[in-house]
Each structure stands twice: as C-alpha cells, then as structure tokens.
C-alpha cells in the first residue's frame, strides 16, 4: 500500500539568494500584461500543456483538484465561441452593464467585439468542477472558486514565463461554453483564456500598479 505521508522535498536558499530569486521573479511577473491583439501564428502545444500541468499543481479544497481545461484550436469551434460571446457581450455592453461600469472600462478600450477569440491560436476554457459525479451519486467539492482561481493564476504565470501572452475573457453569462464544448453538468465555466504571441505592434493600456503600501498592511 502507498504510504499516507512521505518526506517533503524542500530546498532552502541563503538569504541573499532568496532575495535575488524574489527580485528576478518579480521583475519577470511585472512585465506580464493582458494583451488584446494576438498574432495568428501557432504556438508550441507542449508549452501550453506544460503550463496546464503547472496550473494543476495548485492547492485545492480537500485535494479534489476541481479544475478542468479545454484547449480549443479548431477554427470552427473558436468561431462558434466568438459568435456566442459577442452576442452576450453586445447585450451586456448595450443593456446590462450600468454606466459606471462602462466608464470604468473606458481606459481599457474594450467593447463587445472580440476578434481575439478567433485570431489567437488557442483558446483555453477553464471549468470548475463543482461536484464529482460518482457511481453513488454527486459528491461535494470544496472551495471550488478559490481552488480554480489559484490554478488559473499559476496558469497565467506559467504561460507568461514561457513567453506567451494571455487575455482573461469572462463573457457573461458564460453558459454557452458548456454547450459548445459539450461539458458535463457538474462543470461550470470559470473563464476563457485567449493565448498566443502578441500581434506585431501590439499596444496595451498605459496602466500603473498600486504601490506596495497601498496593497499591504503590516501589523
Ligand atoms: N466581460 C466584458 C467586460 C469586461 C469587464 C471587466 I471588470 C474587464 O476588466 C474587462 C472587460 C469583456 O470582456 O469585454
């Protein structure tokens, strides 16, 4: 039988080396930006698969690993997703989002048009498995939002580290994703990640990030 516990493999670094590693990692992550314009050229599938493996190392409630990923390359499926997303987004921008929200989005330059959904080489749909379908009936999963959110953060970091750009897209409502991708009833769409190389000459909004003092309180 497999042992219930095994020794933990841990690497401890000297203080200076820790600082150096932290600085380098921050420097790398600081350069990550959400990109809305993608080149059409393909990206290596193995890189994407490795990023998904990294995402799947995330901690999860009771280790239920409630994340599911659907990698979409097929242009026809991408086109169906774009059509459905734009339909929902058009209604959101025109009818559902209050003026304050529209105003908040102005600096980002977004609207209901989502051409990136068909130009990017891969769409990665992230689903949250809200419960397991077992032979003896549904079995509960725990902290599903938190777990899938953490996994998605790792996924975005891994893709950035590999040299790919991403865009987190959350068309709302996202029910159409389950239908188009034929997912079972225990999976809820979490978000849609467009990924690839940025388009030549791609620009991003001139944003600043909050200072440490604004996001951190030490007691
Ligand atoms: N889901 C819409 C609107 C949108 C909402 C937020 I909050 C953003 O940060 C960006 C977009 C869209 O994808 O356009």
Model pLDDT for residues 6-41, shown as the tens digit of each residue:
999 999 999 999 999 999 999 999 999 999 999 999
Model pLDDT for residues 146-204, shown as the tens digit of each residue:
999 999 999 999 999 999 999 999 998 999 999 999 999 999 999 999 999 999 999 99
In angstroms, the CA 186 to CA 130 distance is 6
- Measure CA of the first residue to CA of the last residue in the chain; give whole Å: 46
Using most ligand atoms within 8 A of CB, pick from 101, 170, 189 the residue to mutate for ligand 1. Answer: 170
Nearest atom of ligand 1 to the alpha carbon of 112: 14
Nearest atom of ligand 1 to the alpha carbon of 104: 7
By alpha-carbon position, which residue is closest to atom 5 of ligand 1?
A: 105
| Whole-structure pTM value | 0.96
Task: Spell out the residues 6+ positions from residue 36 whose beta carbon is closer than 8 angstroms to its own.
Answer: 109, 110, 116, 167, 204
pLDDT for 59 equals: 98
By alpha-carbon position, which residue is closest to atom 6 of ligand 1?
A: 105
- Dihedral of the CA atoms 15, 20, 24, 30 (nearest 10)? 60
Peptide bond into 104 cis (omega under 30): no
Burial class (CB in 10 A: 0-12, 13-18, 19+), 65: middle
Pocket of ligand 1 (CB under 6 A): 89, 105, 108, 110, 169-172
CB of 58 closer than 8 Å to CB of 67:
yes
Q: How far is the CA of 193 from the centre of ligand 1 (A)?
A: 13
By alpha-carbon position, which residue is closest to atom 8 of ligand 1?
A: 105
- In three state form, how does the secondary structure of 114-128 look? CCHHHHCCEEEEEEE
Model pLDDT for residues 127-161, shown as the tens digit of each residue:
999 999 999 999 999 999 999 999 999 999 999 99
In angstroms, the CA 112 to CA 93 distance is 6
CB of 166 closer than 8 Å to CB of 160:
yes
DSSP string, 147-213: HHHHHHHHHHHHHHHHT-EEEEE--SS-HHHHHHHT--TTEEEEEEEEEEPBPTT-------PPPHH
In angstroms, the CA 44 to CA 48 distance is 7
Using most ligand atoms within 8 A of CB, pick from 88, 105, 114, 166 the residue to mutate for ligand 1. Answer: 105
pLDDT band at 1 (very low <50, low <70, confident <90, very high): confident
Q: How far is the CA of 105 from the centre of ligand 1 (A)?
A: 7
């Amino acid at each position: 039988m497999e042992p219930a516990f095994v020794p933990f493999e841990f690497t401890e670094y000297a203080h200076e080396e820790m600082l150096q590693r932290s600085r380098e990692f921050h420097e790398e992550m600081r350069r990550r930006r959400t990109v809305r314009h993608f080149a059409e050229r393909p990206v290596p599938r193995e890189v994407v698969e490795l990023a998904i493996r990294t995402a799947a190392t995330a901690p999860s409630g009771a280790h239920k690993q409630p994340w599911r990923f659907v990698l979409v390359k097929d242009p026809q499926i991408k086109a169906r997703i774009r059509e459905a997303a734009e339909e929902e987004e058009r209604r959101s921008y025109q009818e559902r989002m209050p003026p304050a929200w529209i105003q908040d989005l102005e600096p980002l330059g977004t609207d209901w048009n989502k051409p990136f959904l068909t130009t990017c080489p891969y769409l990665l749909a992230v689903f949250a498995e809200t419960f397991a379908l077992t032979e003896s009936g549904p079995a509960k999963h725990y902290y599903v939002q938190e777990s899938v959110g953490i996994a998605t953060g790792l996924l975005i970091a891994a893709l950035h580290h590999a040299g790919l750009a991403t865009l987190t897209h959350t068309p709302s409502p996202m029910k159409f994703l389950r239908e188009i991708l034929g997912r079972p009833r225990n999976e809820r769409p979490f978000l849609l990640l467009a990924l690839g190389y940025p388009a030549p000459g791609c620009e991003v909004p001139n944003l600043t990030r909050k200072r440490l003092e604004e996001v951190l309180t030490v007691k």
